Structure 1
Amino acid sequence: MPVVDTKADLKGKTLTIVAEFQAPIESVWQVYADPRLLERVWGPEGMPATFTLHDLAPGGRMNYFMTDPEGQKYCGYWEVIEVHEPHHIAVMDGFANQDFTPNPELPASRNDFDFEPIDGGTRATYTSHYASADELQAVLDMGVIEGATSAINQIDGLLARS
């Protein structure tokens, strides 16, 4: 499995997930740059994502929804802050209403995706920064570690089929 470490730091208000992929950095980057590839891994297994907007550029926005096995849709968005291909993406990541407006009742976070080549592949470090420990605890209680781990662990399989 690609995920090799997870750390929730309530005092620091961060969640960090580290994964190692058996693919070159350019291939891992392409997963995030291509919405059709990203749809295949964004979200836990059994909850595929659909990106209705995908603008991976500073100031850009990405809108998506995930659909559970019963057909319920869960919407989210990314507001793109920084892009340094193929090493770094920074976004504001939040839950959204059905019209993709931010849902202020649920936490948003700044997410930094950092990619670095390692011997035989790529190390990805995903760091989510929350405004408060309570917001981080809320997403931990919602199962963010399990969901993110499930999603990230699908990337090696996707790249092996490409």
Structure 2
Amino acid sequence: MVAEFDATAERVWQIWEDPRQLERWWGPPTWPATFVSHDFVPGGTASYYMSGPDGEKIGYCWVFTEIAAPYSLSFDDRFTDDDGNPSSDMPTIHTAVSIEEAGASTRMTIRSRFDSLEQLEELVAMGMEEGVASALGQVDAIVAD
């Protein structure tokens, strides 16, 4: 996914660095995220859950593999069970984010990689593509604050 924002790279970086700002956009509007922890350093972890419109909660965790402020970060995103343990039944999403200034705006590119085509197809069928697109649609209002 690629999106451009009327903000500096440093301002766009803050939407990743600050868990309260992440909560305002990570996840579609109907499935908002709540970050329980956010150790934003290489090797650090973040845990969060997304709440559905019917009260359903799905847990996730990130392991940060690279952080190079304010231009790139990478993390592995995994589903978790009710106790916060990574699920072996669901795929890991290997995510790489790049943030680059593009004239008067900033371009953010999010690349997701999977261990197999089947894993990608499973998450696309669950609505991941639409979810990410609607989540990104919330960023303009945040960076304008």
For this structure pair, what is the TM-score category when the shorter chain's length is used for normalisation?
Answer: over 0.9
Give the aligned partner of residue 142 of structure 1. 126
* Pair 1:107 & 2:91 matched: yes
Distance 2:79 2:32 in 1: 16
Question: Normalization by structure 1: what TM-score?
Answer: 0.87
Q: Secondary structure at the match of 1:135?
A: helix
Give the aligned partner of residue 65 of structure 1. 49
Distance 1:30 1:124 in 2: 12
Question: Normalization by structure 2: what TM-score?
Answer: 0.97
Distance 1:47 1:157 in 2: 18
Distance 2:76 2:62 in 1: 5
Over the matched positions of the two proteins, sequence identity in percent amounts to: 39
Give the aligned partner of residue 56 of structure 1. 40
Distance 1:140 1:70 in 2: 21
Give the aligned partner of residue 133 of structure 1. 117
One-letter code of the match for 1:122?
T
The within-5 A match list for 1:36-47 is 36-47=20-31
Distance 1:56 1:36 in 2: 13
Q: CA-to-partner distance for each residue in 1:71-125, whole Å, 9 max, x for gaps?
A: 1111111001000000111101111112221111111121001100011211111
One-letter code of the match for 1:65?
Y
| Structure 2 unaligned regions, length at least 5 | none
Distance 2:35 2:4 in 1: 25
CA RMSD of aligned residues (A): 0.8
Give the aligned partner of residue 30 of structure 1. 14
Shift, 1:46, TM fit = 2.1
